[in-house]
Amino acid sequence: MADLQTIFKEQCIIPDVINIAPGELLTVKYPNGTTVEPGKVLTPTQVKDQPTVTWAAKEQEYYLLAMVDPDAPSREEPKFREWHHWLVGNILGSQVGKGEVLSDYIGSGPPKGTGHHRYVFLVYKQPGKCDFSKVTKLPNNSGEKRGKFSIAKFATQYKLGSPVAGNFYFAKYDDYVPKLYAKLKG
């Protein structure tokens, strides 16, 4: 736990994204076998497909999963902080696939020349099943309405408290990014 707290502070996820580090490491595995470890450098090609995410979930509790990039379009000039890549609520236990998809998964797409971006996964325990009917549902073929999101404000709005699990990786531009941008244009 202390290690997660330390690395989230060292990499400025605290305070750029959240104020308190999660108590548990979130396990994130991509279909190609890539596993996220805190601070590991991955490529957009490695993370293009939706991962499997697991944590010590309680079967009868509801959770919310988020993935955000606080470095959009760059860490030096984060004018779109945070760009959210994935948002799933009302996950009963650890059954992410049965949760309510608020924003479909989009892999990393850091613009050319912007260096390493932080991609942060967070899981929050919900106080119960939430009404997300007013949240605009976003498909994976559009980048519309994903920028200037704040998972901390979203968590406050839905009374989620602090994240219970988290993880993050770094990624910078590779030759998959133009393919992702083409997909996002619909």
Nearest to 161 by CA among 43, 62, 58: 62
| Per-residue model confidence (pLDDT) at position 41 | 97
State residue 2's pLDDT score.
55
Element (H, E) at 52: strand 52-54
pLDDT beyond 80 at 186: no
pLDDT digits over 111-121, tens only? 999 999 999 99
- Residue 1's pLDDT band (cuts 50, 70, 90): very low
Model confidence pLDDT, tens digit, residues 141-154? 988 899 999 999 99
Structural domains in the chain plus CATH codes? 2-184 (3.90.280.10)
Confidence of residue 39 (pLDDT cuts 50, 70, 90): very high
Confidence of residue 122 (pLDDT cuts 50, 70, 90): very high
Q: For the residues 43-64, what does the mean pLDDT come to?
A: 97
Q: In the 3-class helix/strand/coil scheme, how is 143-175 assigned residue by residue?
A: CCCCCCCCHHHHHHHCCCCCCCEEEEEEECCCC
| Mean pLDDT over each residue of the chain, to the nearest integer | 95
Bridge-based pairing of strands 27-29 and 165-171 is: unpaired
Q: Is the pLDDT of residue 99 over 90?
A: yes
